[in-house]
Amino acid sequence: MFIKYMGFCCSKQTSSSQRQYPTVIEELCHQFSLSDIRKSTNDFNEKQIIGSDDLCIVYKGSFQYNGVTECIVAVKRMKGNTEEKLRQFKNEIEMLCQLRHPNLITLLGFCNDKDEKIIVYEYMANGTLHHHLYHSDAKKVPLTWKQRLKICIGAARGLHYLHTGAKRIIFHRDITPYKILLDSNMVAKLVDFRISLKGPHYASKPKPKTISKDGFIGTYGYVAPEISENNALTDKCDIYSFGVVLLEVVCKDKLKIVENRQRQPVEENIDPSLKGKIAAECWEVFMDITERCLKFDPNERPAMGEVEVQLELALSLQEKADIRNTCEDYTLLSLTTLN
């Protein structure tokens, strides 16, 4: 298949004699020269930095398409060059070259030049979900409840695709608000597939086997308890992490709530900007699916498809309640005017 995004080849055409999913990333994805990357980021200018952590620095870059149209991109430059980082670099490229979904980040290409390991993605204008939940700018308007629901639904669709949309289940392994980016239309897209793993065939019977992986990998507070205890990895681990994210979109101190939610009702810790804004019927559905995602026993957690459906139901109930309240307010206003 030949796919282009703003003129950049993201998957090269292969002959029938070649394997469908080659393991060599050069066969799967467009490769940028280091000079092109330097030009796009103004030689890695600090003013172009839009994010960074212990593993990488992300720059805002731009390329010219047909010499006219400017294509804005995100350029992730890896820090260091250890064997483990190289493995993760290759893993992310191979994963994203084989995955296509509106709620997954689009890979545009990469650069592998000596010690420089760089990945180029579509640019996400509204940053991370984490930034919107925890921003310190008093002038910035908090996300509305319906915006949060729509973001959760988008992320759920992306995760559902990972679990059921390919030949093999894909375990993301690090679902957090940092790994949910928002485009210019506030559409949520999952990012960061460095530590993602392929599981068994989705349609395999009996149920997919648990995959064991030595070592603790993930973000503290989001990792399913079975991973910490025995390194057991299934799709239900992602669902637990997503449950923490769901809790976080309504509460600021998510770690405190996850650990004490049986003794301390979530309603007592709800984000102040949401108080009085959530319809009772919507809240009931939202919290029910959230609590089920956070079940200690992974077998009691729902499949991602059910999570998606329940979140869509919660949004529908909220929209109906908003329409009903608007009509009631209009009726009261009309009666007041008549009197």
The residues assigned a catalytic role are 174
Nearest to 322 by CA among 266, 270, 268, 280: 280
CA 250 to chain centre: 17
Number of CB atoms found within 10 A of residue 111's CB? 20
Structure tokens at 11: 């998957």
Contact present, 197 and 225 (Cβ < 8 Å): no
Cβ neighbours of residue 245 under 8 Å, at least 6 residues apart?
A: 129, 152, 155, 175, 176, 177, 180, 222
Cβ neighbours of residue 176 under 8 Å, at least 6 residues apart?
A: 130, 219, 222, 241, 244, 245
Q: What is the helix (H) or strand (E) element at residue 153, kind and residue range? A: helix 145-164
Q: Residue 102, preceding bond cis, omega within 30 degrees?
A: no
Q: What is the helix (H) or strand (E) element at residue 315, kind and residue range? A: helix 304-338
